Structure formats: structure tokens, C-alpha cells
Amino acid sequence: MAKKVAILTGGGDCPGLNAVIRAATLKLTKAGYEMLGVRYGWRGLLENDYMPLDVMSTADILNRGGTILRTSRTNPIKQEGGVELLADNLRQNDIWATIAVGGDDTLGVANKLQGEFALNMVGVPKTIDNDLSGTDYTFGFNTAVQIATECIDRLNTTAESHDRAIVVEIMGRHTGWITAMAGIAGSADVIMLPEFDISVAEVCDILKRSRAAGKNFNIVAVSEGAKLVTKEGEEQMVTLSEEVDAFGNVKLGGVANLLAQEIERRTGYETRATVLGHIQRGGTPTAYDRVLATRYGVKAAQMVESEDFGQMAALQGDAIVAVPLELAVGERKLVPREFWDLAQTFFA
């Protein structure tokens, strides 16, 4: 009988998920395995919600954003008896190995299931935030940077026409990867990242200097997780609500609006705020992400074939390698100072 391999996508969706599903399915079915898609991430394993995957069901998905398997932020570890139920379901359905495609939350669960319950897990690093350790890049990040850069390009022309400052809020949770790259690529006047503090007063001084130097408009790229810092060093992280999800994540959002009001009040420049939001996660993956996600999917399949469990496919330099899952979920990968210095070179 063919060995059964499940694949699931958890956490926020991201362009390239379908490319991973396709690649792993094609590689493993060709090698004689049976592929089972788990719907809605870990929730699907708790509820036995599956769909068969084969050549036909994955034929037309490589370039499609989102995930044909759907996703959720269900955390089985937080549920009473959740992990035991999940382990029972895997056994009863003869699922021999599971490929978990996700960020630190989803892979954290996979790591626990492997380490504490000896269930055969393989990980694939997904997130637009690019905040996973153990890999140089996650898939989906390149697409998000491309989208954010195109949006900044558009904001540049409207800001210029009206002599305005525009504050653009960019996703990334507690790291500023997308903001740093899109901000540099989009020639933002100021970039604000969670990793490096810059006070509101300093931001306004930079804008004033840029106007004094002859520029008639400004773009401020701010990470949703960047703190608003006063001159005295007081910090404020802006959230949409007090609520946290099953993994303890706060809902970030709103920093651009507050900052825009403050910039207008302090400088007198007409200022607007734009929140890019989920536009950064939607739509078709870039060619780079399609190829990276495909390489990750094939690597995950190879790890299943060689029974290399408890590992995650990772990009190191130009090579796709296997790294221990615990490395990926141990520490958040922050934007290095090098990029902050690069961005600051262009602050007036």
C-alpha cells in the first residue's frame, strides 16, 4: 500500500503556497506516495477535513495566490486534548508523514509534534514577513516587497502633485523586512522599523530638511510594528484591539494614521496616511517566489522520501538545505543594521 503524506498550510496566507503544494504533490505521487491535502491548517487535522491531491488537482495552481487548502490560525496545543486528538487522527487515517507549510506559529506546532510526540513532520518556511530564522528568505516575501514598492511608486506621484507628505503603513508584524526593502526600493524619505528607534521629532526634522533642500513632497514608510517614540524615549506600539489570536499575536495597525496627524501638526505639511494591508498578501506570486516555493516543495518531498523528519527546507545562499525545525522557531530573524544604515544614507 502507498504511504500517505499529508500537507497543510497554516497562519496567514501568502503568495507561493500553491506552488509548494503542487511541487510536493507532483514529486511524491511520482515516487509512489499518496498525497492528502489537509484543509484549514491544524484545524483540518483536528476535524479530519481532507482533500485528495494529485496531478489534476494541482495542474493549474502554480501561479495562483492564496492556498487551495485554505488556512487558519488554529493552535492545537492550546486546546484541551488537542494534540492527542491530532495524533489519533493521523494514526487512524494512516498518515505517515506531514508537511507543514507555515511561519513560526505553524512550524512551532510541527516542532512540538515531532519532538514530544514523535510524529513525522517536515517544515516549509512561509511568510511575507521574512522573520523566520534558519533560512535566508521565506517564500512570499519577494512578492510582498514587489507589491509594496509598486504602491510606494504610486504614492510618490500623487504626493508630488499635491505637495503632500504620505505615510504608508506596511505589514511585517514585529520585523521591518518588507518596509526596509520596499522603502529603499521606493525611495522613501524616512523608513521606520520595529528594530531601530527613531523619534517622531527626528522624522519631522528629516522632512523639514528635505523640503529646505527643495523637495516638495515626502514619503514615510512605516512598519505596522514600529513604535512611535517621543524625544524623551517613551514608546507606543499601535494595535487595532487588545485581542490576541490563538498564538498570542496582537492585531497590529493604525500607526500610519497617528503618525500622519502628528507630522501635519508639527510641520504644517498636508499629510495623508495609506495602509497597504492585505493587498501585500494577495494575488499572484512573482517568478522568484514561484521558483523558490517550488524548490522548497521539492526539498520537503525529498526529506519525506529520505525520512529526514523534524527538519525544515531552507535557503542558505543559493542552496536549498535542511535545517532543524527548532532553529526556525527559536528566534525571530530581525533586519540587520546594515539595511538601517543603508536607508539612513538617504534621510535628509
Catalytic residue among 13, 104, 105, 129: 129
Considering only residues 170 through 199, tell me which ones interact with ligand F6P, judged by CB under 6 A.
171-173
CB nearer to ligand F6P: give 246 or 348.
246
**Residues 126-145 vs ligand F6P: string with x where CB under 6 A?**
-xxx----------------
Considering only residues 108 through 127, tell me which ones interact with ligand F6P, judged by CB under 6 A.
127
Nearest-approach distance from CB 346 to ligand F6P, in angstroms: 24
Nearest-approach distance from CB 258 to ligand F6P, in angstroms: 17
**Per the structure block, which three cell numbers stand in for 157?**
506621484
Q: Which of 134-138's residues contact partners 24+ apart within 8 Å by CB, and which partners?
A: 134/312, 134/314, 134/323, 134/324, 134/327, 134/328, 135/312, 135/313, 135/314, 135/315, 135/316, 135/323, 135/328, 136/314, 136/315, 136/316, 136/317, 137/292, 137/315, 138/103
Nearest-approach distance from CB 33 to ligand F6P, in angstroms: 30
Q: How far is CA 45 from CA 6, 51, 72, 102, 178, in A?
A: 9, 12, 11, 15, 32
Considering only residues 288 through 327, tell me which ones interact with ligand F6P, judged by CB under 6 A.
none
Separation between Cα atoms, residue 80 and residue 137, nearest integer Å: 35
Which of 7, 8, 10, 12 touches ligand F6P by CB under 6 A? 12
**Per the structure block, which three cell numbers stand in for 315?**
535557503
Nearest by Cα to 327 from 33, 100, 104: 104
The answer to whether 205 is a known catalytic residue is no
221 lies in the binding site for ligand F6P (CB under 6 A) = no
Q: Cell 501585500 identifies what position?
A: 280
User: Can you say whether residue 85 is alpha, beta or left, with left for phi > 0 and alpha for psi between -120 and 50 degrees?
Assistant: alpha
How many chain residues bind ligand F6P (CB under 6 A)?
Answer: 11
Give the residue nearest to ligand F6P (CB): 171
Considering only residues 238 through 257, tell me which ones interact with ligand F6P, judged by CB under 6 A.
252
Nearest-approach distance from CB 345 to ligand F6P, in angstroms: 26
Number of H helices, E strands in the chain: 11, 15
Identify whether the C-beta of residue 90 lies closer than 8 Å to the C-beta of residue 121.
no
CB nearer to ligand F6P: give 37 or 102.
102
Which of 27, 112, 211, 281 touches ligand F6P by CB under 6 A? 281
CB nearer to ligand F6P: give 37 or 176.
176
Q: How far is CA 202 from CA 187, 215, 235, 266, 272, in A?
A: 18, 18, 14, 11, 19
CB nearer to ligand F6P: give 173 or 299.
173
Nearest-approach distance from CB 250 to ligand F6P, in angstroms: 9
Residues within the interface to ligand F6P (CB under 6 A): 12, 103, 127-129, 171-173, 224, 252, 281
Q: Which residues are catalytic?
A: 129
